[in-house]
């Protein structure tokens, strides 16, 4: 027990230091809309209020803002709070090693379980710990839920069911998508029942023991329907996911998502997956409750997660790209499956290897090359494609070459399996090396890309008063409107000075957009400048703030109070309604708002 505690502590400490250090290389927020939402929500909880996104209610998972609020409150200023939140995320992500270890320990030796725990923390999705996002909290709680679900499937006592339901609820509070884990329990239990020998199967009377799960699902369904009927469903940011997809597109994206998962786990575990699943299946048929329970959980969670991610990817908001950002929660299960197969001698019939290889070739050979591109924004959501995108970038004019490379990777994985099994009994563990190598390379590539994206010189120095220059001037309790102009000339200000000023200043509230949109910079309300210079929303109402942050070229009716950021943003105390003195239209605003030097 002592060596287990020491080994897990070493993993957690190493992960926290490593990811905390890497996170410190990011000069500021780079996934702006999401980071701003969670920064705002955490700040509002830390100050004793309900979670809030600037001037509107918060509509996402509650766990991170509530858990991170004490960290934020303990910091003396916004910059220190920002760094502390990223260190907190690094710690949360690394803590996932503990539930993953105990999950693996149901099937594996101590050493292999530690290896699986360490590999889970080394997953390239640890990139998200370097930002103010919810993925770290979700990875930890999701791993706890997987462990609790496995224990409940093995022996569905009332206590284990309640613990499993509780951990699933906690995971859903971190990321709502993880609510789907609840469904994995009855599905996994059904697979376990099917696999066990007929004489060992529980009878129909055993269904009575499932009353906690049935009651919880029933109550949750009633609450959800009631909230839906009343119009008080709060997860507004995810509405697009369940309103803009169809069965055909979900099926197509499920296939692509499986291909992405194959790349994530470095191909080799996917090639041996049919053999590994069959091995657990046979041991379950022979009476092994643990094997039957694990394979039930593995199949159920993977099926649910792949379909859920595919639904998101196929929706309008999915952006026609891969999203292993929402998929990587199943990676610990794949690592356990792979390690268990190695531990049992890496046995695989020619037929099973042929099936695994054929499926891998079909998945990767049909993956559209345009989904694997060297683009830091796309790579952020699909970290598994980083190394393959670099390979494609060598000859981007011939995307078909990428398909050839991916198919060759499948055959290389098959060759590695055959060689490792024939060399010596211990050589099979060398098959972990490709997984480690791919994890490391993808992690290095995506961290490097994110650090470069965040390498903006926005402020003159690192003093809190310089970064929070608006809060330093505006009285507490007053709000400030951001008014930025969307044009090519203003784009550098919008993506740097405006973003970071909004992020590090608590008092900034509503955001108004003028001009012709060239890129989605942040959430906000579209507005127009009328012929008399008054700024109005699209429904004709005049904008009436007390304070405004505006580009340097806009002259407003009122008093200029301060200038901030190297770009020279202006803070105004304005006369109501908001009136622009040197522009009587949005088109004119795009001409005068930003200097030529900012283009």
Mean pLDDT per 10-residue section of the chain, whose length is 599 residues: 93 98 94 91 93 83 95 96 97 98 97 97 97 97 98 92 94 93 92 80 67 73 62 51 72 97 97 97 92 96 96 84 95 98 93 97 95 88 95 85 95 95 84 96 96 92 94 93 87 88 92 68 78 92 95 94 94 95 91 66
Same domain (yes/no): 403, 504: no
Same domain (yes/no): 367, 513: no
The last residue of one of the domains, among 401, 422, 452, is: 452
**Domain of residue 562, residue span:** 464-598
Is 37 within the bounds of a domain? Answer: no
Same domain (yes/no): 418, 475: no
Is 56 within the bounds of a domain? Answer: no
Q: Report the pLDDT value the prediction gives residue 353, as an integer from 0 to 100.
A: 97
Q: Report the pLDDT value the prediction gives residue 518, as an integer from 0 to 100.
A: 45
- How far is the C-alpha of 24 from the C-alpha of 17, rounded, in Å? 10
Residue showing tokens 């891969």: 322
Sheet strands side by side (includes 535-537): 535-537, 525-529, 508-515, 480-486, 547-550, 569-574, 558-564
The last residue of one of the domains, among 385, 419, 452, is: 452
Q: Report the pLDDT value the prediction gives residue 242, as an integer from 0 to 100.
A: 52
Number of residues assigned to the chain? 599
Q: Report the pLDDT value the prediction gives residue 210, as an integer from 0 to 100.
A: 76
- How far is the C-alpha of 318 from the C-alpha of 336, rounded, in Å? 30
- How far is the C-alpha of 185 from the C-alpha of 331, rounded, in Å? 18
pLDDT in tens, 25-75: 999 998 888 999 999 999 999 999 889 887 788 888 899 999 999 999 999
- How far is the C-alpha of 513 from the C-alpha of 528, rounded, in Å? 8
Same domain (yes/no): 554, 484: yes
Cα–Cα distances in Å, from 320 out to 310, 381, 471, 475?
A: 11, 12, 39, 44
- How far is the C-alpha of 293 from the C-alpha of 154, rounded, in Å? 5
Using DSSP, state whether 542 is helix, strand or coil: strand
Is 62 within the bounds of a domain? Answer: no
E strand or H helix that includes residue 353: helix 350-365
Is 41 within the bounds of a domain? Answer: no
Q: Are 562 and 469 in contact (CB under 8 A)?
A: yes
Same domain (yes/no): 150, 219: yes
Is 418 within the bounds of a domain? Answer: yes
Same domain (yes/no): 383, 513: no
Please state the domain count of the chain.
2
Same domain (yes/no): 255, 314: yes
Is 51 within the bounds of a domain? Answer: no
- How far is the C-alpha of 322 from the C-alpha of 253, rounded, in Å? 8
What ranges in 47-134 are assigned the alpha helix state H?
63-73, 78-95, 97-105, 110-121
Is 44 within the bounds of a domain? Answer: no
E strand or H helix that includes residue 410: helix 400-423
- My answer on whether omega of the bond before 577 falls inside 30° of 0, hence cis, is yes
Per-residue tokens: 111 = 């050493």
Is 11 within the bounds of a domain? Answer: yes
Of 301, 402, 343, 334, the C-alpha closest to 119 is 334
Same domain (yes/no): 566, 442: no
Phi, psi (5° rounding) for residue 353?
-65, -35
Q: Report the pLDDT value the prediction gives residue 202, as an integer from 0 to 100.
A: 66
Q: Report the pLDDT value the prediction gives residue 55, as an integer from 0 to 100.
A: 73
Using DSSP, state whether 167 is helix, strand or coil: helix
- How far is the C-alpha of 565 from the C-alpha of 484, rounded, in Å? 14
Phi, psi (5° rounding) for residue 514?
-115, 155
Same domain (yes/no): 434, 485: no
Same domain (yes/no): 155, 197: yes
Q: Are 97 and 117 in contact (CB under 8 A)?
A: yes
The last residue of one of the domains, among 426, 452, 478, is: 452
Q: Are 170 and 141 in contact (CB under 8 A)?
A: yes
- How far is the C-alpha of 268 from the C-alpha of 342, rounded, in Å? 12
Gyration radius (Cα) of the chain, Å: 26
Q: Report the pLDDT value the prediction gives residue 482, as an integer from 0 to 100.
A: 93
CA count, 13 A, side-chain hemisphere, 509: 16
Same domain (yes/no): 408, 509: no
Same domain (yes/no): 438, 552: no
pLDDT in tens, 379-397: 899 999 999 999 998 888 8
């Amino acid at each position: 027990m002592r060596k287990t505690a020491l080994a897990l502590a070493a993993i957690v400490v190493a992960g926290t230091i490593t990811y905390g250090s890497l996170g410190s290389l990011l000069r500021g927020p780079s996934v702006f809309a999401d980071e701003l939402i969670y920064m705002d929500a955490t700040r509002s909880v830390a100050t004793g209020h309900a979670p809030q996104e600037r001037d509107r209610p918060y509509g996402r998972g509650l766990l991170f803002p509530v858990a991170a609020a004490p960290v934020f409150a303990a910091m003396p200023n916004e910059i220190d709070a920002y760094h502390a939140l990223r260190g907190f995320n690094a710690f949360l992500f690394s803590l996932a090693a503990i539930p993953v270890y105990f999950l693996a320990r149901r099937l594996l030796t101590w050493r292999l379980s530690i290896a699986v725990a360490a590999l889970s923390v080394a997953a390239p999705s640890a990139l998200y710990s370097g930002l103010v996002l919810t993925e770290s909290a979700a990875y930890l709680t999701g791993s706890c839920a997987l462990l609790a679900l496995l224990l409940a499937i093995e022996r569905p006592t009332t206590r284990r069911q309640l613990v499993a339901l509780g951990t699933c609820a906690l995971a859903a509070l971190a990321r709502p998508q993880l609510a789907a884990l609840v469904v994995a329990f009855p599905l996994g239990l059904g697979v376990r029942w099917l696999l066990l020998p007929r004489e060992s199967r529980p009878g129909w009377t055993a269904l009575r023991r499932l009353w906690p799960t049935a009651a919880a699902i029933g109550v949750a369904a009633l609450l959800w329907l009631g909230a839906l009927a009343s119009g008080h469903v709060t997860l507004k940011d995810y509405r697009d996911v369940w309103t803009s997809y169809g069965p055909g597109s979900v099926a197509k994206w499920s296939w692509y998502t499986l291909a992405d998962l194959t790349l994530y786990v470095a191909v080799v575990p996917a090639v041996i997956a049919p053999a590994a699943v069959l091995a657990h299946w046979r041991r379950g048929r022979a009476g092994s409750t643990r094997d039957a329970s694990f394979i039930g959980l593995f199949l159920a969670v993977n099926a649910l997660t792949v379909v859920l991610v595919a639904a998101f990817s196929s929706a309008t908001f999915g952006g026609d790209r891969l999203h292993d950002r929402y998929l990587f929660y199943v990676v610990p299960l794949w690592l356990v499956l792979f390690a268990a197969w190695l531990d049992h001698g890496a046995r695989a019939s020619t037929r099973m290897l042929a099936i695994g290889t054929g499926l891998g070739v079909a998945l990767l050979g049909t993956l559209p090359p345009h989904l694997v591109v060297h683009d830091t924004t796309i790579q952020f959501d699909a970290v598994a494609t980083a190394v393959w995108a670099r390979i494609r970038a060598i000859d981007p004019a011939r995307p078909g070459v990428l398909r050839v490379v991916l198919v060759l990777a499948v055959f290389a994985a098959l060759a590695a399996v055959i060689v490792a099994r024939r060399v010596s009994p211990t050589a099979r563990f060398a098959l972990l090396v490709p997984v480690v190598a791919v994890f490391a390379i993808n992690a290095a590539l995506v961290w490097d890309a994110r650090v470069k994206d965040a390498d903006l010189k926005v402020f003159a120095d690192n003093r809190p008063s310089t970064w929070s220059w608006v809060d330093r001037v505006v009285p507490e309790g007053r709000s400030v409107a951001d008014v930025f102009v969307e044009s090519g000339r203003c784009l550098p200000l919008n993506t740097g000075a405006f973003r970071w000023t909004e992020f590090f200043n608590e008092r900034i509230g509503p955001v108004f957009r003028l001009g012709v949109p060239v890129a989605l910079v942040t959430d906000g309300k579209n507005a127009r400048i009328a012929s008399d210079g008054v700024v109005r929303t699209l429904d004709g109402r005049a904008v009436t703030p007390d304070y405004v942050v505006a580009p340097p070229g806009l002259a407003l009716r009122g008093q200029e109070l301060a200038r901030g950021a190297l770009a020279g943003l202006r803070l105004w105390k304005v006369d109501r309604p908001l009136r622009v003195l040197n522009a009587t239209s949005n088109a004119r605003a795009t001409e005068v708002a930003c200097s030529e030097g900012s283009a």
